[in-house]
Structure 1
Amino acid sequence: MPEHGPTATIASVDRAHDRGGGWAAGRRRIAAVPHAPVVAGVVLALLALAESIAQARGTPATYPFGHVVSAPVGEAIVHAGNMPPAERTDGALFLVVFGLLGLATTLPIALLWAQPAAAAVVVSATGLLSLAAFQTLTVAGVGAQLIAGYRLGRNGSLSLALLLAAPFPLLALADPATGEVRILILLLACFAPAAALAGIARRAHCQAVENAAAQQVIAGSLLEHTARGERARIARELHDVVAHHISMVSVQAETARLAVPGMPAAGAERLSAIGDTARAALTEMRRLLGVLREDAKTDAADRQPQPGLRLRELNELLDEARDASGTGTRLILRGRPVTLDPGVELAAYRIVQEALTNARRHARGAAVDVELHYTGDALRLLIRDNGPGPSTAMPVDGHGVSGMRERAAAVGGTLRTGPATGGGFLVEARLPGKDETAG
Structure 2
Amino acid sequence: MSQPSVLIERAVTVGRRMTGAPEWPTTAGLLLGLLAMVEVALRVTDSGPRVSIALLLALCATVPLAVARTHLLIAAVTMTVATSLTLATLPRLTGAGLVAQLAVLYLVGRRHSPWVAAPMVLPFVGYALLGPLWLSGTAGSGPDPSPGAGRLSAVLLAAATTTALGTGIARRLRRAAAERAVSRQALEDTLLEHVARGERARIARELHDVVAHHISMIAVQAETARLTTPGMPTEGAKRLVAIAETARAALTEMRRLLGVLRSDTEGVPTRRPQPSLHQLNELLDEARASAGVAARLIVRGHVRSLDPGIELTAYRIVQEALTNVRRHAPGAAVDVALHYTADTLCLSVRDNGPGQAAVGAAGHGLVGMRERVAMVGGTLTAGPAPVSGFLVRATLPLPEETG
TM-score by length of 2: 0.52
What corresponds to 2:111 in structure 1? 155
Aligned residue number for residue 214 of structure 1: 183
Of 216, 221, 232, which residue of structure 2 is paired with 1:248?
216
Aligned to 2:145: 178
Q: Distance in 1 between matches of 2:53 and 2:192?
A: 66
* Aligned counterparts of 2:188 and 2:166: Cα–Cα separation in 1: 32
Match of 1:119 among 58, 67, 75: 75
Return the alpha-carbon distance in structure 2 between the equivalents of residues 210 and 130 of structure 1: 40
Partner of 1:139: 95
2:124 maps to 1:191: no
Query: What does residue 197 of structure 2 align with?
Result: 228
The one-letter code matched in structure 2 to 1:153 is: G
Residue type at the aligned position of 1:42? L
Deviation at 1:102, TM superposition (A): 0.5
Residue 69 of structure 1 corresponds to: none
Query: SS in structure 2 opposite 1:166?
Result: helix
- Partner Cα separation in structure 2 for residue 234 and residue 109 of structure 1: 63
Q: 1:102–1:138: 8 Å Cα contact kept in structure 2?
A: yes
In the TM superposition, residue 149 of structure 1 has moved relative to its aligned partner by: 1.1
Distance 1:305 1:209 in 2: 36
Change (3 A) 1:139 1:261: closer
1:52 partner letter: V
Match of 2:36 among 14, 23, 48: 48
Instruction: Give 1:38's aligned residue.
Output: 26
Structure 2 gap segments, 5+ residues each? 1-5, 136-143, 276-325, 327-403
> What do the CA deviations read for 1:291-329 (whole angstroms, capped 9, x no partner)?
xx8xxxx9x8447698997xxx99xxxxxxxxxxxxxxx
Question: Aligned residues, how many?
Answer: 252
SS at match of 1:135: coil
Give the superposition deviation at 1:227: 1.8
- Structure 1 residues 204, 247: closer, same or farther in 2, change over 3 A? same
Q: Compare relative contact order (CA 8 Å, sep 6+) and give the higher one, 1 or 2.
A: 2
Q: CA deviation at 1:254?
A: 2.1
- Contact (CA 8 Å) 2:16, 2:22: kept in 1 or not? no
Rounded to whole Å, the distance in 1 between the matches of 2:267 and 2:98 is 80
Going from structure 1 to structure 2, the CA distance change for 1:118 and 1:221 (only over 3 Å counts) comes to same
Q: Deviations over 1:352-388 (max 9, x none)?
A: xxxxxxxxxxxxxxxxxxxxxxxxxxxxxxxxxxxxx
1:285 and 1:28, CA in 2 relative to 1: closer, same or farther beyond 3 A?
farther
Q: Distance in 1 between matches of 2:122 and 2:14?
A: 30
What is the CA–CA distance in structure 1 between the aligned matches of 2:36 and 2:265, rounded to whole Å?
80
| C-alpha separation in 2, matches of 1:94 and 1:203 | 40
User: Which of the two has higher C-alpha Rg?
Assistant: 1
List aligned pairs for 1:359-370, cutoff 5 A: none
1:168 paired residue among 93, 102, 124: 124
Q: Spell out, residue by residue over 1:198-254, the C-alpha distance to the aligned partner (whole angstroms, 9 max, x if none).
A: 11111111111001100111011111112222223333344x423421221012202
Aligned to 1:113, the other structure's residue is in SS state coil
In structure 2, do the counterparts of structure 1 residues 252 and 31 end up closer, same or farther at CA, with 3 Å as the change threshold?
Answer: farther
Given that residues 215 and 251 in structure 2 are in contact (C-alpha distance below 8 angstroms), is that contact kept between their aligned partners in structure 1?
no
Counterpart Cα distance in 1 of 2:38 and 2:90: 17
User: Residues 157, 307 of structure 1: CA spacing in aligned structure 2 closer, same or farther, 3 A cutoff?
Assistant: closer
- C-alpha separation between the residues in 2 aligned to 1:229 and 1:31? 54
For the residues of structure 1 that align with 2:264 and 2:72, how far apart are their CA atoms?
Answer: 63
Distance apart, 1:260 and its partner CA: 3.2
- Change in 2 beyond 3 A, CA 1:123/1:279: same
Label 1:305 to 1:98 Cα distance change in 2 as closer, same or farther (>3 A): closer
Q: CA deviation at 1:28?
A: 5.3
Task: State the alpha-carbon separation in 2 of the partners of residues 305 and 33 from structure 1.
Answer: 52
CA distance in structure 2 between the aligned counterparts of 1:142 and 1:308, rounded to whole angstroms: 73
| Shift in alpha-carbon separation, 1:155–1:280, aligned structure 2, 3 A | same
Matched residue, 1:200: 169
- SS in structure 2 at match of 1:169: helix
- Structure 1 residue 255: Cα displacement: 3.0
Change (3 A) 1:116 1:208: same
Show the 5 A alignment for 1:312-323. none
CA distance in 1, matches of 2:201, 2:117: 54
- Residue 376 (structure 1) aligns with: none
On the 8 A contact 1:135/1:181 being kept in 2, the answer is no
Alpha-carbon distance in 2 for matches of 1:32, 1:142: 21
2:98 aligned with 1:108, yes or no?
no
1:121 partner SS: helix
The one-letter amino acid of 1:51's match is: E
**Separation in 2, partners of 1:173, 1:107:** 28
CA positional deviation for 1:34? 4.9
Letter in 1 for 2:185: Q
Could you tell me the percent identity over the aligned residues? Answer: 30
In the aligned structure 1, how far is the partner of 2:29 from the partner of 2:266?
Answer: 74
Query: Does the 8 Å CA contact 2:220/2:244 hold for their aligned counterparts?
Result: no
Shift of 1:122: 0.9
State the Cα distance separating 1:164 from its structure 2 match: 1.8
